[in-house]
Amino acid sequence: MTASPPPPPPPPADTTDPVLVRRRQIARWADLGQRAGYLLFGVAIALFVVAATTDLPSAIVTAVIVTMVLGSLVLAPAIVVGYGVRAADREDRERAAARRRRAG
């Protein structure tokens, strides 16, 4: 099984372009949201294992449900926003390449 290649590094942010600066901020928040969401799912899995080995105490089951819900609420929008940022970066690269082809 081969792992997918890592995404290309973000283009250098032009500190004078407010759109690119804002996009980098949004990308950082999306990355943080993804990390937090996956962490919450990991905690939920660990709690489930603990609950399964200790006769499913209701407090731990409740904690599993809460972490799954919170993980979903954080992770889903972070994934969508992350895809949006990558799509905007890709479109910028494609437009710049098209301009270079027309100019040269």
Task: Please report the pLDDT score of residue 67 as a whole number.
Answer: 98
Which amino acid, residue 65? Answer: I
- HSE-CB of 27 using CA atoms within 13 angstroms: 18
Choose among 12, 10, 40, 43: nearest CA to 27.
Answer: 10
Q: Which helix (H) or strand (E) holds 94?
A: helix 58-103
Q: 59-73: per-residue pLDDT in tens?
A: 999 999 999 999 999
Which amino acid, residue 22? Answer: R
pLDDT of 82 > 60? The answer is: yes
Q: Where are the domains of the chain?
A: 18-103
Reported confidence tier of residue 81, pLDDT bands at 50, 70, 90: very high
Task: Please report the pLDDT score of residue 6 as a whole number.
Answer: 63
pLDDT of 14 > 90? The answer is: no
pLDDT of 1 > 60? The answer is: no
Q: Which helix (H) or strand (E) holds 33?
A: helix 18-53
pLDDT of 11 > 70? The answer is: no
Mean pLDDT of 34-49: 98
Task: Please report the pLDDT score of residue 59 as a whole number.
Answer: 97
- Three-state DSSP class for residue 61: helix
